[in-house]
């Protein structure tokens, strides 16, 4: 994969998604690729933009602030998703920068987002992250606490929640977590799911993902050095 260009990788992933969806009732347009650009060099992100891709994911507010205002000035129609955990002292910046925030996971954050969206007059699309593996160190609301968080968001704050997002535990069978996320979404009348990464996006698409978040398979391995 390292010799293939970012453009070729995007084509490959999109073809694989199309193939995965062909065995379902859903059309290829019902699952969108989020190219996860965190830590990747700007040249590679620019290659994706030049190839016409517009939907990207970042997991840190500060890192996204450093690259996306410039890219947005050069390329129209960018849709930017926050897929990493959000501290309430960064909600103002996050609301200003992102089109979609996928990691709403606690009442304090939901309230802070509501306040900021009102103050800025911006309507950011929101997903609730569910900690389907109930891991201590991971963000996301526990499945048992989802009903209360949803009620707070919808009834008390008047927020629209578009769907649910999960990151399965690394060593687990992802299908179990994808199925659980789908079940929770169905139960609460939510129809959009963000699930699936480089190793399992085809499975996620088959199991109902509306967004898959793919980094490595698009840009190559992240270099943290
Ligand atoms: C980094 C990241 C991804 C992409 O992971 P890959 O395995 O590189 O595709 C997806 N989702 C979240 C929340 C991430 O932080």
Q: How far apart are CA 57 and CA 34, in angstroms?
A: 6
What CA dihedral angle connects 215, 141, 98 and 67, to 10 degrees?
-40
> Are residues 128 and 109 in contact, defined by beta-carbon separation less than 8 angstroms?
no
- Put simply, whether the predicted model's pTM sits higher than 0.85 gets the answer yes
Q: Hey, what are 207's tokens?
A: 């199991």
Query: Which of 205, 215, 220, 224 to mutate for ligand 1's pocket (most ligand atoms within 8 Å of CB)?
Result: 215
- Closest atom of ligand 1 to CA, residue 59: 15
pLDDT digits (tens, 9 = 90+) for 40-77: 999 999 999 999 999 999 999 999 999 999 999 999 99
* CB-count exposure of residue 3 (10 Å: 0-12, 13-18, 19+): exposed
pLDDT digits (tens, 9 = 90+) for 167-207: 999 999 999 999 999 999 999 999 899 999 999 999 999 99
- Closest atom of ligand 1 to CA, residue 214: 9
Query: Which of 57, 205, 223 to mutate for ligand 1's pocket (most ligand atoms within 8 Å of CB)?
Result: 57
pLDDT digits (tens, 9 = 90+) for 99-147: 999 999 999 999 999 999 999 999 999 999 999 999 999 999 999 999 9
**Rounded to the nearest whole angstrom, what is the distance from the C-alpha of residue 215 to the centroid of ligand 1?**
6
The CA angle 190-192-195, to the nearest 5 degrees, is 125
**Rounded to the nearest whole angstrom, what is the distance from the C-alpha of residue 102 to the centroid of ligand 1?**
13
DSSP string, 44-100: HHHHHHHTT--EEEES-HHHHHHHHHHHHHHSTT-EEEE-S---GGGHHHHHHH-SE
- Closest atom of ligand 1 to CA, residue 216: 8
> What's the mean pLDDT in 146-170?
98
Which residues lie closer than 8 Å to 214 by C-beta, 6 or more apart?
A: 13, 33, 34, 35, 36, 196, 197, 198, 201
Q: Hey, what are 97's tokens?
A: 């920068």
- Mean pLDDT score of the chain, rounded to an integer? 96
> What's the mean pLDDT in 214-222?
97
Q: How far apart are CA 111 and CA 49, in angstroms?
A: 34
């Amino acid at each position: 994969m390292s010799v293939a260009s970012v453009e070729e990788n995007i084509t490959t992933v999109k073809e694989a998604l199309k193939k995965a969806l062909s065995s379902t009732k859903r059309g290829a347009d019902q699952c969108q690729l989020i190219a996860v650009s965190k830590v990747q060099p700007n040249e590679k992100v620019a290659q994706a933009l030049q190839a016409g891709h517009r939907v990207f994911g970042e997991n840190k507010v500060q890192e996204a602030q450093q690259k996306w205002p410039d890219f947005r000035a050069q390329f129209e129609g960018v849709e930017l998703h926050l897929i990493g955990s959000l501290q309430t002292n960064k909600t103002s910046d996050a609301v200003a920068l992102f089109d979609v925030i996928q990691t709403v996971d606690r009442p304090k954050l939901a309230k802070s987002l509501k306040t900021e969206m009102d103050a800025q007059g911006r309507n950011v699309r929101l997903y609730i992250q569910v900690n389907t593996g109930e891991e201590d160190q991971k963000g996301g609301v526990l499945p048992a606490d989802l009903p209360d968080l949803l009620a707070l968001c919808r009834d008390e704050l008047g927020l629209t929640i578009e769907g649910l997002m999960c990151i399965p535990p690394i060593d687990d069978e992802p299908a179990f977590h994808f199925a659980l996320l789908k079940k929770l979404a169905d139960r609460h009348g939510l129809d959009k799911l963000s699930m699936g990464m480089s190793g399992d996006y085809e499975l996620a698409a088959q199991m109902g993902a509306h967004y898959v978040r793919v980094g490595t398979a698009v840009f190559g391995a992240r270099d943290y050095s």
